[in-house]
Amino acid sequence: MNNRELKSKVVSLGNRLAPRMDGDRTAAFIRAWQIVKAGGLELAVKGVSFGNRQEALKRLAAYSPEQVRAVLVPEPTNPVDPAAVAVMVGVNGGKGLFRLGYVPRNMAAVVSAMRDHLPALRVVSGTWGWACKTTYGARVAMGV
């Protein structure tokens, strides 16, 4: 990416971030610069242990990342957090989407500004806790 393209991406993202950061253009452009230089964002999906989401992640882990689609959906009517952004997932060719969790609250404004960049979902698993039980997590990656 040449210097002109880099500046263009920073300015574009910074201008979309500023209104979501209480009009603080300096902070918006600093955050935009960090995101563009890093090549995008990768965030842990929050709330994946709620309800039957662990079972859904276990099933999703059987698919390759190319077979799973993730969609970010703002939820302005969410009673807990009007700035919440839900992570909806599904299998390509499947019946529909499932609410897997949410973008971290402190990153919701940034992700809302980047909604036009398609997210990719990565399911991660590990063994934690005293019961040595395998639990699953998910990460959403968004490029710029």
Summarize pLDDT for 85-116 with one digit per residue, the tens: 999 998 888 788 899 999 999 888 888 888 76
Q: Looking at the whole model, is its pTM more than 0.85? A: no
Number of H-type helices and E-type strands within the chain: 4, 6
CB 14 within 8 A of CB 109: no
What span, in angstroms and rounded, lies between the C-alpha atoms of 3 and 65?
Answer: 32
Domain ranges in the chain are 1-38, 39-143
Model confidence pLDDT, tens digit, residues 64-85: 888 888 888 889 899 988 889 9
pLDDT for position 108 = 86
- Is pLDDT at 53 greater than 70 in this prediction? yes
- Return the CATH fold of 39-143: Alpha-Beta Plaits (3.30.70)
Model confidence pLDDT, tens digit, residues 14-35: 888 888 888 889 998 998 898 8
Q: Which helix (H) or strand (E) holds 125?
A: strand 119-128
Which phi-psi region, left, alpha or beta, contains residue 132 (left: φ > 0; alpha: ψ -120 to 50)? left
Order of strands across the sheet that contains 85-91: 68-74, 85-91, 98-102
